[in-house]
Amino acid sequence: MIHGLTGTSRWWVNVIEHVPAGLGIIAVDVRGRGGSLEAPPPFHMAELADDVARCLDQFSIDRAIIAGYSMGGWIAAVFADRHPDRVARLVLVDGGLSLPSDPDLDADEIIGAMVGPSLARLGIAFETEEAFFDYWKAHPALKRHWDDSMRPALRYELRRTGDAYEVVANAEAIREGARQITVDPATRSIGESVEVPTHLIVVEKGTADQDGGLVPLTTAEGAAAANPNLTMEYLEGLNHYTLILGAGAAQVAAAVSGG
């Protein structure tokens, strides 16, 4: 399981709770986030995909179901392109296909347009843990959908620094990830040409609960129609964040486990 641009491995916690017993799970912290905060560059998708292969090697696993959420969808698709013999099945969770973008925007503008409200939490000094959760409760994608079951998924990214709490992530890693999934021609559409069995999930709402998921429905439909390796599932009533943190977790788990 591979997380998104500003998340960590713990964003999968609620999904994992719905995965059938007996299915082994490896959830990775991508370079520059969580337990891999100090991992050095490069932060290119190819290197991040090869990191996944290294994780499998550490556990002596030859083939696995590779699931990627948001930016993790692009990493998963790159992994499948570079290591197809190691993919039993690919699951792209609102990620991996081309996004609407403007090549004239710089990386910071791209990031702001994509995940501005979420990225803003980096650099804030929260006086208490509860202040951090209050921030998430007011997030446009979660304020109508908040549930305390989301706390474990989010708490992992918080670090105590002196008298305050801060979210720590590598800004260079985030900027490079945003650039590659939006404007890099070698990466931004890689999920559309997958050559392994792939299940794509897209949702009704986006990162701010606006109409349209991160991956546009029309893009997903076109890719599924053109590529026999790709099947698409459209989930109504969910946004990009509730898909994995909230009410969509059971449906994502079903797609991962093949149920």
Kindly report the CATH number assigned to the domain that includes residue 172: 3.40.50.1820
Q: How many domains does the chain have?
A: 1
Query: What does the pLDDT read at residue 102?
Result: 63
For residue 175, give the amino acid letter: R
Query: What does the pLDDT read at residue 179?
Result: 84
E strand or H helix at 151: helix 151-155
| Domain assignment of residue 2, yes or no | no
Contact 35, 60 (CB under 8 A): no
| Domain assignment of residue 184, yes or no | yes
Query: What does the pLDDT read at residue 218?
Result: 95
Range of the domain at 169: 9-257
Lookup: tokens for 84: 């197809």
pTM reported for the whole predicted model = 0.94
| Domain assignment of residue 121, yes or no | yes
Query: What does the pLDDT read at residue 175?
Result: 85
| Domain assignment of residue 233, yes or no | yes
At residue 69, what are phi and psi to the nearest 5 degrees? -105, 130
Query: What does the pLDDT read at residue 29?
Result: 98
**Residue ranges, the chain, pLDDT below 70:** 100-108, 110-119, 259
At residue 28, what are phi and psi to the nearest 5 degrees? -95, 150
| Domain assignment of residue 105, yes or no | yes
- How many Å apart are CA 89 and CA 96, to the nearest integer? 14
- How many Å apart are CA 37 and CA 40, to the nearest integer? 8
| Domain assignment of residue 1, yes or no | no
Cβ burial of 236 (10 Å; 0-12, 13-18, 19+) is exposed
Contact 94, 243 (CB under 8 A): yes
| Domain assignment of residue 3, yes or no | no
Sequence-distant (6+) residues with CB within 8 A of 124 are: 135, 166, 167
Cβ burial of 228 (10 Å; 0-12, 13-18, 19+) is exposed
| Domain assignment of residue 4, yes or no | no
Contact 201, 215 (CB under 8 A): no
Contact 154, 118 (CB under 8 A): no
